[in-house]
Amino acid sequence: MRIRWRARHVLAHQDGGHVLLRDGELVWEDDVIVYVGPRYEGPVDELDEDRDLGEALIMPGLIDLDALTDIDHLVLDSWHGPEHGRGLQWSLDYFQNRRRDVFTPEERAAVREYALVQLALHGITTYMPIASEVHSSWAEPYDELVAMAETSRRIGLRGYLGPAYRSGVNVALPDGGRDVAFDEEQGRAGLRDAVRFLDHLDKLDDPLLTGVLLPCRIETLTEELLRETAATALDREVLVRLHALQGTTERDIVQRRHGVTPLQLLDDTGLLDPDLQLLIPHTDVIDRHPDVHGEDRGDVARLARAGVSVVHCPLTSLRYGSVLHSFDAYREAGLNLCLGTDSFPPDLVRGMDVGVHLGKLVDGRMDAAPAEAYVEAATLGGARALGRGDLGRLEAGAQADAVAFAIGDIRDGVQDDPVRTFLLSGTARQATNSVVAGRPVLVDGSIPGVDLAALQERAQALFARMRTAYAGRDGERRDADALFPPTFPPFRAQA
């Protein structure tokens, strides 16, 4: 199959970097790009499909390395005060006596489909999943990831998958404190299932699915499990993504339990081995953070020497009151920055816009975090994190992963630079078409074979159950309406 897309703007790749091409054309054959330029000189009559996308911006497919594959919980837990915050964690009693799965396996499969469709609708072509374990009896079972892999294949996304595993869970204590309660055998079993899943994907031999190790948060892992993760990754030559350096509570728990900082624990357990490719989402709380030292004492350089990729999630971080200190400083130190969404909406365009403006505030300069640096993080940075020189770029020889955003609506405003204007005024909801390995995923704003209205209705019903289930975990046994009061009181009919 040889297919051509034409559009007013194409973010092409030339001489090692992205370049803007006006009235450009993109041609691919099967799964590989064969031409990017102003005018395709090949035989037009040999094209199997020829589409003029008009006033659009064609970009490399967006790479989301902390991609929500769940029903969002940020809508419930990003605005609470201390009086409600404890109720959103597992209580110690729930951990010890009552933990359970909120959803059946079939319902979890529906949740995964809903989330993967959302990624596709927002122009994401490559993803590494993140899901909440709060409504599972422990973490992510093997069978659930097998089912998600099949859903991902059906939709056509490029996935880096593995079941999340952990040795412990954050719990709210009866005295009002917070700690991690451990079930170490669950952690060992989780790693065994993660290795089993690597074997499953090896046998499946689908070029769009790659097995990775996805341990949960650093404070929920024993030192033993961290060491075993590092050893397994080196032995199997697979990537590791581990949430760490994420918050002051995490830092306090790790220091109490291990006597070292989270960064030192990563080093002590072999996860900073330069031969191991480690991705760390967030990576906000290091020496530069104002709640630590407020100055650079070498943590950024230490991460860079280890070849760590920072999965920056600016929109989600802002909603939880956190920020990098800073995007520009991390780049200058040589750290590879890539992007994640981590919550709903999985909109990397909004995320990039938020990140650009947070960078200005943190560094006190208008040019601290330019739009082009964020676009590079969403494309080339993600490709580097995955070790994939054939992703994140539109040039001959690269994989045919591309997305088109419509930018001609009057509500988009007047246009100067198409990329900068799109980030300032647009949203990833403007994605109209995408391809992964040359195959269509998003077609004229829809996912072929998916009933979006029915999926939305199903997801809303599952969300209602997820919301209700918080009451069973709350140590004070408050119901969901008490835990999640409305923004304004409901209307009361007059007598």
* 495 residues of the chain, pLDDT tens digit each: 899 999 999 999 999 999 999 999 999 999 999 999 999 988 888 899 999 999 999 999 999 999 999 998 888 888 888 777 777 888 899 999 999 999 999 999 999 999 999 999 999 999 999 988 888 999 999 999 999 999 999 999 999 999 999 999 999 888 888 899 999 999 999 999 999 999 999 999 999 999 999 999 999 999 999 999 999 999 999 999 999 999 999 999 999 999 999 999 999 999 999 999 999 999 999 999 999 999 999 999 999 999 999 999 999 999 998 999 999 999 999 999 999 999 999 999 999 999 999 999 999 999 999 999 999 999 999 999 999 999 999 999 999 999 999 999 999 999 899 999 999 999 999 999 999 999 999 999 999 999 999 999 999 999 999 999 999 888 888 999 999 999 999 998 887
Contact predicate 166/137, CB 8 Å: no
Rounded Cα–Cα distance for residues 301 and 303 (Å): 5
Amino acid identity of 475? G
Question: Residue 332 class from Cβ within 10 Å (0-12 exposed, 13-18 middle, 19+ buried)?
Answer: exposed
Domains of the chain: 1-60+392-450 (2.30.40.10), 62-76+104-166+174-390 (3.20.20.140)
Starting from the edge strand earliest in sequence, which strands make up the sheet with 62-68, in order? 62-68, 124-130, 158-161, 209-211
Phi–psi pair at 141, nearest 5 degrees? -75, 155
Burial letters for 262-294: b for 16+ Cβ neighbours within 10 Å, e otherwise? Answer: bbbbbeebbbbbeebbbbbbbbbbbbbbeebee
Phi and psi angles of residue 466, each rounded to the nearest 5 degrees, phi first:
-60, -40
User: Is pTM beyond 0.95 here?
Assistant: yes
- What is the rounded CA–CA span in Å between residue 273 and residue 269? 9
Strand pairing partners for 65? none
Report the alpha-carbon distance of residue 65 to residue 382 in Å, rounded.
7
